[in-house]
Amino acid sequence: MTEFLPPWPLLTAFVLASLALAITPGPAVVYIVTRTLAQGRQAGLASIGAVALGNLGNAIGASLGLAVLFSVSALAFSVVKYAGAAYLIWLGIRALRGGAAAADGGTVEAAPRSLRQVVRDGFVVALLNPKTAIFFAAFLPQFMNPAGSALTQSLALGVAFVLIAATTDACYVMAAAAVMPALRRAGRARALGRYLTGAAFIGLGVFTAASGSRAAK
């Protein structure tokens, strides 16, 4: 068992540290809450699964050494980072254009109508964030047993962190879904939601592009 998991004291410390990090709102929480307010609880839950899959991909990448590549190659890091930032900004512009088209009597929607599109967007946004892989590479080794297998321990801890984060994200979705009916009853709430969605995505894209290599969830 020591090959796959760290000893219980380290594992307990890992769970507590992961829970503290997961509860702290970050770009992923903003993205998921924004999607919930724009499209409802089902879209928010779908976004959680998509972001979790993207984060899991980064955890696996960190375990296989891709984080090392990102940490030593400024070009590789920048290419992936700016691709993710551009995708977020594109989502924001699409939301704003959708709101303008609806105001003019058009039929363009600000947000994807299908859960497949929601899952695709969340997965791409999470996966195209090299800072997540670097975060895993820096965070997970602190809780690993040197006598055990580094690969299996990092994979196990990465999966555990993703599950913990998904659980706390679900709490944010439920809270956002609870206040959504009140927001919808407010005047012009739907149009305001479009603009808030667009602004949030563009803001996240700018934040991603401008931030350095150190970032958590």
Please list, residue by residue across 82-117, b when 16 or more beta carbons sit within 10 angstroms of its beta carbon and e when fewer do.
Answer: eebbebbbebbebbbebbbebeeeeeeebbbeebee
Q: Tell me the pLDDT tens digit for each residue of 150-193.
A: 788 888 999 999 999 999 999 999 999 998 887 666 655 556 66
pLDDT at 31 over 60: yes
What ranges do the domains of the chain cover? 8-209
Kindly state the percentage of the chain with pLDDT values over 70.
80
Q: How far is Cα 180 from Cα 38, in angstroms, rounded to an integer?
A: 9
Least confident of 28-32, 34-38, 79-83: 79-83
